[in-house]
Chain A
């Protein structure tokens, strides 16, 4: 995608003008078709209980997808989030369960672990200039190994205080949903209203030109790596709290690809320089809705995975085939 998003200039937090919004986010159309189809076929898709279930499932996805999307827009990538999620959950659970620390301390411990992973990624990619693909692919394995070494046995029984992180209700909404909403809004505000948000796009489009414009081309992506690590660990703590368990070998396995799928479906280009938080939200909702609908229809897991994969490739093909408007 080389066409720009003029809304970037005059920031609009919510896309205005129906047609433009649809053209920029073709996923809107897909959602508009998907929701009634699932409602008609399952009969319970739109039940409040089910919707809240979708929202809770989608929340952890959204929390990681937002910083990851920013990272991809700036021209980088993080494949290690699944393992960081596991590490975050384990650290939080270990602090809360084994050491009877308060939920706040447990959460902070998880976030710190995520920040360290993110900082290592950021240092290697931004300061040493190594390929983000290779570095974070390595970290995907290395962090998983570290988690298994530190916590060889599954952890559970984190206590009622810790369960609050994933289970509390705020204004009728589950806490993870509220956190995800905050992350989404923060991401959108960051992109639209801060200089650094513009720098993210500039670095993603043309790193050399950004450097010659006097922008600190290492600082912002480094911060985004740290933010992505922190977000992954936060998602891990939430999952551990909801499930009251964390397993080094399996927690968050494959999560990195699901998040990346949501981000790419949301219109963020892997080449950097384009994307929006609204798109990411749609990508997350689409994936969450698809999984949930297919589960309600008793579609076997393997077929669900296939559907997810097909959706990603179809999305890419559509974006490629779509007429390039001369905007």
Chain B
């Protein structure tokens, strides 16, 4: 007997004019694993959050175990049997395994928590997910893989019938990944409907019964996995056959950024050279070490070995200010945590590093500031171009333009621009504008651009040359006509021998 545990129909959700989800359908019967694929910003997280009740959809319905909802609160979602295991786990480190599993639904006897009963039941649940920890272990002492199993056990304790796994293996080691795959197979056999969000095609091949690919908020592709090759899947994710429009770079230019033997916690040694006016992509999955490399070049982290040169000057940045003095700037990945000052005005946000260079005798040059901001807003296509509007009121794309604008103005000259996931959470239109601005910077001013991305589409759109990063090392290089979405996806999924590593 097959029952349908989850049926999503016509789900639509917009954020400030951007359609994050546009009429998405998804059906997952009991005892099936459904893989959900797509680039960053394709709508996967929005879909998950609608399921979890984090925000209400604008249109469409969610049917769980026979009951249809037009909107869910987080509480209703849990009660209906949905359990979501996010990448960032929501277990409480200071509590024991059993306490975590029963958090918010404690068993009590005479008004006191009945630890023994909780621990007994917890032991049974842990057995179901084949966890190797005891109910009395403190969760903070467990490795990530076990913590994840605790969270799944918690979901089972609430008799979840729909399990959503959001890139569950991103933070796991190889052995843990295999173990998790076995658990997923067990849970499928136990009759759960499982939605598995991933970037890894190997996981899809191993686990999934069906695949849905999202692109720009729509279902771009849907298939059952049986009989599909990896190439078919790659083509489905990329959405179109290879486009090889790039020629080799015009004339060779002298190197601007030269990194040799760079090592730090979790990466290296690696070497990177970016020529004047060249745009080099660092492509790798989350956790591959891309961000660490960029942050080390920018002085946010310390290198343990290696040299960094800008032109022929050696740089050893101990803090971002040092890197900036040497002409290196970074646009960080996590805009909210590392980039934006939401309550400060657009002008304050974009001109913060320019205030001192513009000031005269320690006094701000207000008129010059306004002029520089106007030019900058026009250059990056800021909308609305209102200097006084708080940055938090802008769309994601325009917020990113403000952060980018810090390094693209006449008051701050930048020789090397580092960007980490330059268009994360940025809508399609603004994405194109950001690519245009960065490319223009490289072409017109000879700025060396080094950017990290986990989105093959972005690498192909922006990079002249791409370095493949895995486990903190450079494992391959693609450029010219070889640089396509397909070749990128194949490169991370079947890493080449590390011949390209420096």
Contact = CB atoms under 8 A, between A and B. Distances in A.
Contacts of A9: 345, 347-348, 387-388
B353 A2 contact: no
B428 interface: no
Interface string B333-364: 00001111111110110001101100100111
B332 interface: yes
A194 interface: yes
A201 B344 CA distance: 8
Contacts of B356: 195
Interface in A210-225: 210-216
A274 interface: yes
B390 A327 contact: yes
B388 A10 contact: yes
Given A10-B366, A198-B355, A214-B321, A4 B343 contact: yes
A88 to B, nearest CB: 28
B343 A274 contact: yes
A309 interface: no
Nearest to A192: B364
B342 A205 contact: yes
Contacts of B53: none
A174 B355 CA distance: 38
Contacts of A206: 337-338, 340-342
Contacts of B348: 8-9, 198, 201-202
Given A9-B388, A194-B363, A213 B342 contact: no
Given A4-B344, A9-B348, A212 B339 contact: yes
B352 A205 contact: no
A6 interface: yes
A212 to B, nearest CB: 5
Contact of A210 (B298, B324, B352): B352
Contacts of B352: 198-199, 202, 210, 213, 215
Contact of A213 (B366, B390, B393, B406): B406
A3 interface: yes
B338 A212 contact: yes
Given A193-B363, A205-B344, A208-B338, A215 B390 contact: no
Interface in A1-32: 1-4, 6, 8-11
Contacts of B145: none
A130 interface: no
B65 interface: no
Nearest to A218: B319
Interface in B384-434: 387-390, 392-393, 406
Interface in A104-159: none
B330 interface: yes
Nearest to A6: B388
B324 A214 contact: yes
Given A3-B390, A201-B348, A205-B341, A212 B355 contact: no
Contacts of B339: 209, 212
Interface in B355-385: 355-356, 359, 362-364, 366, 370
Contacts of B319: 211
A214 B353 contact: yes
B493 interface: no
Interface residues of B, number: 37
Contacts of B340: 206, 209
Which of B323, B343, B355 lies at the interface centre, i.e. has the most chain A CB atoms within 10 A of its CB? B343
Contacts of B320: 211-214
Which of A6, A198, A213 lies at the interface centre, i.e. has the most chain B CB atoms within 10 A of its CB? A213
Contacts of B332: 209, 212
- How big is the A interface, by class? 20 to 34
B300 interface: yes
A199 to B, nearest CB: 8
Contacts, number: 105
Q: Main SS of chain B's interface residues?
A: mixed
Contacts of A210: 341, 352
Contacts of B347: 9
A289 interface: no
B359 A194 contact: yes
A205 B343 contact: yes
Contacts of B366: 10-11, 193
Interface string B82-112: 0000000000000000000000000000000
A326 interface: yes
A2 B343 contact: yes
B341 A209 contact: yes
Contacts of A201: 341, 344, 348
Contacts of A205: 341-344
Nearest to A195: B355
Contacts of A193: 363-364, 366
A2 B342 contact: yes
Contacts of B359: 194-195
Contacts of B387: 9-10
A210 B348 CA distance: 11
Nearest to A211: B320
A45 B29 CA distance: 78
A195 B364 contact: yes
Nearest to B340: A209
B344 A194 contact: no
B408 to A, nearest CB: 14
A198 B352 CA distance: 7
Nearest to A272: B343
A50 B16 CA distance: 56
Contacts of A213: 320, 352-353, 406
Contact of A212 (B300, B345, B389): B300
Contacts of A273: 341, 343-344
Contacts of B300: 211-212
A10 B390 CA distance: 13
Interface in B475-495: none
**Nearest 8 CB-CB pairings of A with B:** A195-B355, A4-B390, A6-B388, A9-B345, A214-B324, A205-B341, A4-B343, A214-B321
18 contacts: A4-B343, A6-B388, A9-B348, A10-B366, A199-B352, A202-B352, A205-B341, A205-B342, A205-B343, A206-B337, A208-B337, A209-B332, A209-B341, A211-B300, A212-B298, A212-B332, A212-B339, A216-B321
Interface of A: 1-4, 6, 8-11, 193-195, 197-199, 201-202, 205-206, 208-216, 273-274, 326-327
Given A6-B390, A9-B387, A211-B319, 15 more contacts: A2-B343, A6-B389, A194-B362, A195-B364, A198-B364, A199-B355, A206-B337, A206-B340, A208-B338, A210-B341, A210-B352, A212-B300, A214-B321, A215-B321, A326-B393
